Amino acid sequence: MKFIILSLSVIALLLSGCASNKNGSSRYSIKNDHGPSSPVDVSKIPDAVPKVEPRSRGGNKSLYEVFGKQYAVLDASDGYRERGGASWYGNKFHGHLTSNGETYDMYEMSAAHKSLPLPTYVKVTNLANGRQVIVRVNDRGPFHSGRIIDLSYAAASKLGMLQHGTARVEVEAINPITWNASQTVIAVGQQNSALTAGSYLQVGAYSAEVSANRVANQLGDDFIMSAYVNNVERESGKFYRVLLGPVSDRFEVDNVIEQLTQRGFMGAHLVDFP
C-alpha cells in the first residue's frame, strides 16, 4: 500500500511539472516575466512568412481545459478576425516548450492564441498606432479575461506596446496560399524601378493598376522576358502599361507577339522607354 501511495505521488508531481499552460509557475525559474536585461533592436527581425504547414501533433486537441475552463480549437482559421486585448511574454518563458512542442524564442515573430489551429499565421494591428506585424501562432494562451492573443517580445516591441504591456489589437488569420499570390503580384509591380532604357513590347494599357499587375504577373510566369508595369500620366488621366523586355532581336519580337496573340493579347507592339 505504501508503494502505491508513493507511485501516485510521483505521478502527480510529474504531471504538475509538465503543465503546458504559461500561467503555471512550476516550470519556470523566473517568477515575474520581463524582457531582455538591456534594450534590443528588433527592427531588423523580419515578420513571419506565411507558408502552408500541416497541423502540429501537439496543442491541437479539439477541447482542452485550463483553470477549470474549457476551450475549443477551431477546425480551420479561414475568415477569422477579432478585436480585443493583446499582451506579451518574454524571458520567463524563453527556451521553454510551446504548446505544439517547439521552443519559445522571444526574439522570433510568434504568438499564443486560445483557439486557432497550430500553427496559424495572423496579421496583428495595434489599433492605437496602426502598426502591423505578421506572426506565427504556435502556443496556447493568454488565459486572462479580455485578451485574445499573447505576443512574443519581438512582436510586441515592433507593435510599440512594451511600455504599456497590453494593447487593443485586431487579429486576422492569413491564408498562406492567397497571401503568397498577392505578394507575387506586388513584387511584379515593384519592378517598375528596374526599367532600363531600351525597346519593350507593350502588351496592353489598363486604367486599373490591379489589372495591370495581374497581367504582368501572368506574363512573368509564361515568358522568359521580365514583365513590368509602367505608370503613364496623360491629360485624360493615369494608366498602366504592361511591358515585356527589353528586346533587341526582331525574330524574338515576332515570336513573342505571335504567342501573345494566341493567349488573347491582341495588338502587342514595340515601344521605346523612356
The answer on pLDDT for 190 being more than 50 is no
pLDDT at 9 over 50: no
Q: What is the pLDDT of residue 60?
A: 95
In a domain, 103, yes or no: yes
* Domain encompassing residue 64: 27-174
Give the range among 92-101, 187-196, 199-208 with minimum mean pLDDT: 187-196
154 with 33, same domain?
Answer: yes
**Is the domain of 49 the same as that of 143?**
yes
- Residue scoring higher pLDDT (6 or 132): 132
Roughly what angle, to the nearest 10 degrees, separates helices 209-222 and 176-189?
A: 100
Residue 131 contacts residue 48 (beta carbons within 8 Å): no
pLDDT band at 170; cut points 50, 70, 90: very high
**pLDDT above 90 for 70:** yes
Q: How far apart are CA 178 and CA 122, in angstroms?
A: 13
Which residues, at least 6 apart from 101, have a Cβ–Cβ distance to it below 8 Å? 56, 57, 58, 59
- Give the C-alpha distances (Å, rounded to integers) separating 212 from 155, 189, 218: 34, 9, 10
Contact 21, 96 (CB under 8 A): no
Alpha-carbon gap, residue 114 to 125, rounded angstroms: 18
Are 125 and 170 contacting, i.e. CB atoms less than 8 angstroms apart?
yes
- pLDDT (mean) for 84-88: 96
Q: Are residues 128 and 210 in the same domain?
A: no
Q: What is the pLDDT of residues 249-261, one digit of tens each?
A: 877 888 888 888 8
pLDDT of residue 45: 87
Q: Tell me the average pLDDT across 174-190.
A: 64
Q: Is 199 a domain residue?
A: yes
Q: Does residue 240 sit in helix, strand or coil?
A: strand
Within-domain flag for 8: no
What is residue 65's predicted lDDT score, i.e. its pLDDT?
95
Both 86 and 159 in one domain: the answer is yes
Whether residues 127 and 196 share a domain: the answer is no
- Of the two residues 38 and 170, the one the predictor is more confident about is 170
Could you tell me if residue 10 is inside a domain?
no
35, pLDDT greater than 70:
no
Asked, as a colleague might, if the bond just before 119 is cis with ω within 30 of 0, I would say: yes
**Averaged pLDDT, 58-87:** 95
Band of residue 226 on the pLDDT scale cut at 50, 70, 90: confident
Answer for the pair 133, 52: CB distance below 8 angstroms, yes or no. Answer: no
Confidence of residue 7 (pLDDT cuts 50, 70, 90): very low
Is 110 part of a structural domain of the chain? yes
Q: If you write DSSP's letter for every residue of 41-96 in order, what string do you get?
A: --TTSPPP-----PPPSSS--SEEEETTEEEE--S--TT-EEEEEEEEE-TTTTTS
Say if residue 114 is in the same domain as residue 210. Answer: no
203 and 80 share a domain? Answer: no
Q: How many structural domains are present in the chain?
A: 2
Whether the model pTM is above 0.85: no
Q: Which of 175, 177, 110, 167 is nearest to 138 (CA)?
A: 110
Average pLDDT along the chain: 81
Q: CA–CA separation, 33 vs 108, rounded Å?
A: 17
How far is the C-alpha of 100 from the C-alpha of 94, rounded, in Å? 15
Same domain membership, residue 186 and residue 62: no
Mean pLDDT of 96-119: 95
